Amino acid sequence: MHSKPITLKILDVASIILLLTSAYIAIFVAPTEKVMGDVQRVFYFHIGTAWVALVGFVFTAGLSVIYLITKDLKWDRIQVAAIEVSLVFFLITIILGSIWARPAWNTWWTWDPRLTTAAITELIYIAYFMLRQGIDDPDRRARFGAVYALIGGLSAPITFFAIRLFRTIHPVVIAGSNSEAEGAFSMTPDMLSAFFFALFAFTVIFIDLFWNRIRLENLRDEVEQLKMKVTM
């Protein structure tokens, strides 16, 4: 029997508390933005999830390199966990952005470079899982997955910088200004603290989910091996 490690249990509880606190701060503590009103509050979670997802994607590219050098399946399991969690977070980012865009841009979706590259990034990692599904041999699956994630990881940073290279209407709130952005605003100190708290909260939540997912993958692996033993 493998019981859950105590640190992970603490982290579980901490993430729930942080999520609730972050939501509370975003909704009740942070000041209402003058032009957009309450819908701007979605921003804290939008950036929080985007931040962890993009860091996760870049991180997986590093894991690819480690796996390809060591050929240890442990790294493959970590990579699957990281990509799966990042994929979900990035989907949440896109959905939250859409909710914000409806009142701010008067449309759910627009083919803006930033949005397009976000959709493409999401598709790359969906393709990653389709690739894995098509391969039975675990070693080959890990190798192909690592190579594909490495290629995909080269595209995630571009998503982040696309906003600075192409003309876009997506606002740049952090470090930079975009004169064509629609729905841009500058943050007051209260907003900043809510923003950084959201970043912190989602980082912890990400680590928690990531850890749980790695554990699940390890347990699954163990079950698989036990099954093999029984049949033999």
**What DSSP character marks residue 148?**
H
Tell which one of 16, 27, 123, 219 touches other proteins (CB under 8 A): 123
The nearer residue to other proteins, 102 or 167, going by C-beta atoms, is 167
Does 55 participate in binding other proteins (rule CB under 8 A)?
no
Cα(83)–Cα(124) distance, integer angstroms: 11
DSSP 55-87: HHHHHHHHHHHHHHHH--HHHHHHHHHHHHHHH
The nearer residue to other proteins, 10 or 123, going by C-beta atoms, is 123
Cα(13)–Cα(4) distance, integer angstroms: 13
| Interface stretch with other proteins, choices 6-14, 151-159, 191-199, 207-215 (CB under 8 A) | 151-159
Q: What is residue 33's three-state secondary structure?
A: strand
Does 164 participate in binding other proteins (rule CB under 8 A)?
no
CB of 30 to other proteins, least distance (A): 36
Burial of 56 (0-12, 13-18, 19+ CB in 10 A): buried
The nearer residue to other proteins, 36 or 68, going by C-beta atoms, is 68
CB of 163 to other proteins, least distance (A): 14
Cα(89)–Cα(98) distance, integer angstroms: 14
Does 144 participate in binding other proteins (rule CB under 8 A)?
yes
Chain residues that interact with other proteins, rule: CB under 8 A: 68, 120-121, 123-124, 127, 130-131, 133-136, 140, 143-144, 146-148, 150-152, 154-155, 158, 165
